[in-house]
Every structure is written in C-alpha cells, then in structure tokens.
Amino acid sequence: MPPSLIVEPTDANIDNAAGILRRGDLVAFSTETVYGLGADARSAAAVGRIFAAKGRPANHPVIVHISDVSELMYWAAEIPDGAIKLAKAFWPGPLTIILKRGPNVVDELTGGQSTIGLRIPADPVALKLLRRFGSGIAAPSANRFGQVSPTTAAHVAQGLGACAGLILDGGPCAIGIESSIVDLSGALPRLLRPGMLSRVDIEAALGATLDCDNSNAPRVSGSLESHYAPHTPVRWLSADAVSNALTHQVDRLSMGVIAMRHQPPEAASAIQWRNLSADPGAYAHALYAQLRELDALNLALILIEIPPDEPEWEAVRDRLRRAAGG
C-alpha cells in the first residue's frame, strides 16, 4: 500500500478529498478537537472501512459531522428544544449531541443503538470539506482503537499508516481533546463525555442540569476505562507523591513526568520532564502530543501530576484517568 499522503487543505485538495469520500473511501481531516477519520455517513460500506482501519469493535457508534443545523432533520427522528438551544449556543464547535436516530441512519453508525451522535465542527478545513462533500461525514478520532487521539496530521500518519489514504493537514488542533458529548435522547439530558466546553456552560444554555448517572447510558467507546491510553504504563499522582517517587527507589527506572511545575533539582537528570501549563485550555492543547512523545521513548513509566479537582479541569482529568487505565 502507498504511504498516507499529508496534503495542505487547498481548494483543489479539498475537492479531491470530497471525491474520495464519494467513492466510498476514507479521508482524515483536522477538526478543532482532534483529527477525524471520515467516511460517507450514508454508505454502510464506507462506514465499515472506518471500523476496519481503526480496528474498532463494530458495536461502537460513530459521530456524524454535518455543516448546518438544517441537516439534523435528515439524521434524527426528532429534534428536542434542548438540541436547538445547544446548537444555537455552541455550533459550530466542540459539542456532540446524541438524538434518537431517524430512518435514514445506517446501522453501522449506531452500533445497534437507537440513537445518533451529531456535531458541526468549527475547524475551517472540516467545514469546507463538509460543504464540498454536501452531506454528513461519519468520523471517529483518526487513531487505532484504544490509542491516544491524534492532534496533528503526522500523528494520524504514524497511527493509521496507509489506511488514512489522504490526510488534510489543518495544523495542530485548536482544542486538542475530544468534544463534549450530551445525550438528549432520554428523559433527562446527560453528559456522556466531558470536553473543554464545560458542563456549566452546557447547563446554562440548556437551562437544565446534566444528569451524572451514566449507568444506563448508551455504550460509548470514549467511556471505556482503558481508552486514550499510551503503551507505556501511566500513573496519575498528587504533586507530593510524584516528588516522593522521584526521590525513592524508582529512580533506576526510566521515567517520564508530566507536571505543572518545573523539574525540581532533586529529580534525576535522566527523567523526561514535561512542564504543562496551569491553564486548562493550554494544558489540553498540549496533552496528547506530550503523551505520544513520551510514549515513543519506551520509558518504564509515565507519572502525571493530577491537575486540581476543579470544574474547568473536568475534561482533562477524565482523559488522564483513562490514560492511567481507570
């Protein structure tokens, strides 16, 4: 197979990408959250190729990306008021809304469930591709199943190799972690996956509280405890526990540390220290690239200092917990 082709998002390349989608093949593209691996959402065969490329179990549903709210009617059986409120407030943007599926939805998109996930992305490349293509693009994150989501075109090529075919390079993703997912298909709105669009802002726009009990929630691959995990074992610890680990017997291990402070002088110089921002947005933006970089060093262990237990850190803490395997 030829290597995957990373291309600039010129009009000609976006046209070409739309043509590839029309033929039923896959195209990877930037979004503001993470890169997506896209297929024609109306084609069961094309959607099936996503599952093959990712090595993803067939019972995991895929988000459909659209470019205009008017398209909701094609995909959803009903559009509750809450969906209109959220769409007005946050689309285009890093929010996925789960609705009852309409009759046009192929089973491959839903993993056998009665719902469909929809999102209008804000990234200009994603929007241009959607408009050129003229219909919904099914796209999970453009990584092998269970691995860290890609936030650059190079990450996509590393993870998926030739499976991605064409990769539209929109630069590093502006946000860097996956969209917030709100389920409006049941009696109460539920937050299935926290994202950088915060729970508080979603609740304010909805005028309702988000249910936290996800025990009856639809299956979401992003809710598996081991999701978003690097190969290297990851532990998340308090800053004190990290310091302890550094000054005790573990100093013979090759270790990486992701912290929110500079490397203390007592830490062995061989430690791969990465200092991320104390601002949650900047932290999220850099996190996956840092995890990949450390993962590539074949270290024995990656220690991550737990960010504060504050609402603005909810999404980052969620991803770190999963990277550490729950």
Reference 256, options 285, 232, 227; nearest CA is 232
Q: Which is nearer to Mg ion, 141 or 151 (CB)?
A: 141
Give the one residue of 4, 13, 33, 243 binding ligand TXA; rule: CB under 6 A. Answer: 33
Using the rule CB under 6 A, give the single segment among 30-38, 72-80, 205-213, 273-281 that binds ligand TXA.
30-38
Number of chain positions touching ligand TXA (CB under 6 A): 28
Between CA 15 and CA 20 the distance in angstroms is 9
Give the one residue of 82, 92, 117, 189 binding ligand TXA; rule: CB under 6 A. Answer: 117
What track of x and - describes contact with Mg ion for positions 124 through 163 (by CB under 5 A)? -----------------x----------------------
Between CA 214 and CA 225 the distance in angstroms is 14
127 binds ligand TXA (CB under 6 A): no
Torsion of CA 274, 279, 282, 286, to 10 degrees: 30
116 binds ligand TXA (CB under 6 A): yes
Give the one residue of 27, 43, 47, 60 binding ligand TXA; rule: CB under 6 A. Answer: 60
Give the one residue of 30, 67, 110, 290 binding ligand TXA; rule: CB under 6 A. Answer: 110
Give 283's contacts (C-beta < 8 A, 6+ positions apart). 260, 276, 277, 307, 316
181 binds ligand TXA (CB under 6 A): yes
Tokens representing 152 are: 């650059």
Between CA 225 and CA 197 the distance in angstroms is 21
98 binds, among ligand TXA, Mg ion, none (CB under 5 to 8 A by kind): ligand TXA
Burial of 251 (0-12, 13-18, 19+ CB in 10 A): middle
For ligand TXA, the binding residues in 139-158 under the rule CB under 6 A are 139-141
Burial of 120 (0-12, 13-18, 19+ CB in 10 A): buried
Q: Which is nearer to Mg ion, 141 or 243 (CB)?
A: 141
Measured CA angle at 320 (ends 314, 324), to 5 deg: 145
Positions that interact with ligand TXA (CB under 6 A): 31, 33-34, 36, 60-63, 96, 98, 110, 113, 115-117, 119, 121, 139-141, 178-179, 181, 192, 218, 220-222
